[in-house]
Structure 1
Amino acid sequence: MPDLKNIPDNVRWHYAAQCAAKLPALYEISFRDALGEKFAVLEQDIWMEIAKMVKEIAHTSSFPTGNAKEIAKAVQNATIILFGPEYGGEIMEVSDDGAVILVKRCPFLVHSDTLSSDHERAFSRCMALTLTAVPILNKDYTARFVRAMCTGDKRCEVKIEKKPPVSKKEEKTGVKK
């Protein structure tokens, strides 16, 4: 009788990663029409929750998150751990407090294509995950998408930068200028 121990780790990882990367498109195909607008809200909540796993992975793996480049690398590594090696990209440091994640291969797009899922939905998932994960990793930083393959660009560019300082008045009132 075959035993799980006889299946190499890289083969198990391959299938686990494929499953994790396909699930969002499969849920979209199955539930979007039935749930309508409620689907988008529920889906965003799920991806914001997954962002908390990014922090857990960074913490347990001792990934540093003290500056923009370290945060970018932690997000990139956690994404590979969660969704597999089909994810490919690089990190560019653009300043002391700024970095850019350049994504050239995305497992969500690969599976969106094979399952006839909507690329725009893939973008909303990634955006919810990334924009939530960055300040969870370090409250002094924020992220924004400059380009996205889901919307037709050749690659994704996610800029991570230090948040501007909050003035005393903004701190007291909670209202930005």
Structure 2
Amino acid sequence: MTRSDLERIPEATRWQVCARLLAKLPLLYDITYRRGVGEDYDVLEHAIWIEMAREARDLADAFRLPRSTAGELASTLSVLGEALFGRDFLFEPLVDTGERASLRVRRCPFSEEADLLEIDHALLPDRCLAFTIPLIEALNPAFTLRYVRAACTGDRGCELKIMSREEAKAEE
């Protein structure tokens, strides 16, 4: 293989393939290892998602992505989602009051890959939670994230809210 062989595949295509594989990989591992690992599988996989959240935070640090307010965190989550998982991860901002922001997930690569692999969507929500909550809290420890709706649990779509930890405690 020469460099020119690699360059025959456009860079945008290479990135798109990588993003799709990153979305598909957790599902393939689940299919392959869940039965053999047993009850510890989810705990082990959550540790991986939490580490991925740290990597995403490092990316945000490196490029000084904004994170002072809930709205900035929502925007940064959207940027990181697309940077890591490709254009198939599409967020739509709904509300931004500074201290609280809501987003709707318009497209989810994990859901799309689960459909292609014919995997039960009930396996998906824990992965999202294990990634997005630690990511938001690592980006700005004064904030947290809650799911309002999750398409993979039967809701008509996914909706997330970013709020102060104080507000989240008051809601509990």
Q: Is the pair's TM-score, using the shorter chain for normalization, greater than 0.5?
A: yes
Matches within 5 A, 1:134-145: 134-145=136-147
**2-structure distance, mates of 1:57, 1:87:** 17
Matches within 5 A, 1:47-86: 47-86=49-88
**How many residues matched?**
166
**2-structure distance, mates of 1:79, 1:94:** 19
Partner of 1:117: 119
**1-structure distance, mates of 2:7, 2:116:** 31
Mapped pair 1:31 → 2:36: no
Mapped pair 1:5 → 2:21: no
Q: Percent of counterpart pairs with the same letter? A: 38
Deviation beyond 2 Å, 4+ runs, structure 1: none
Matches within 5 A, 1:121-132: 121-132=123-134
Once the two structures are overlaid, the 10-residue window that deviates more, 114-123 or 61-70, is 114-123
**2-structure distance, mates of 1:93, 1:54:** 23
Q: Is the 8 A contact 1:28 1:117 kept in 2?
A: no
Deviation at 1:118, TM superposition (A): 2.5
**1-structure distance, mates of 2:106, 2:154:** 13
**2-structure distance, mates of 1:161, 1:78:** 18
**1-structure distance, mates of 2:107, 2:27:** 17
Q: Is the 8 A contact 1:65 1:137 kept in 2?
A: yes
- Residues 67-114 of structure 1, C-alpha deviation per residue, up to 9 Å, x if partnerless? 001111111111111111111121223422000121021000011111
Q: Is the 8 A contact 1:142 1:161 kept in 2?
A: yes
**2-structure distance, mates of 1:153, 1:77:** 24
**2-structure distance, mates of 1:13, 1:144:** 30
**2-structure distance, mates of 1:133, 1:97:** 17
Deviation at 1:24, TM superposition (A): 0.8
CA RMSD in angstroms, aligned pairs only: 1.6
Report the 3-state secondary structure (helix = DSSP H, G, I; strand = E; otherwise coil) of the residue aligned with 1:153.
Answer: coil
Report the 3-state secondary structure (helix = DSSP H, G, I; strand = E; otherwise coil) of the residue aligned with 2:124.
Answer: helix
- Residues 121-142 of structure 1, C-alpha deviation per residue, up to 9 Å, x if partnerless? 2111011101111110000001
- Give the TM-score taking structure 2 as reference length: 0.91
Partner of 2:170: none
- Residues 118-171 of structure 1, C-alpha deviation per residue, up to 9 Å, x if partnerless? 212211101110111111000000111010011111221111011218xxxxxx
Once the two structures are overlaid, the 10-residue window that deviates more, 100-109 or 85-94, is 85-94
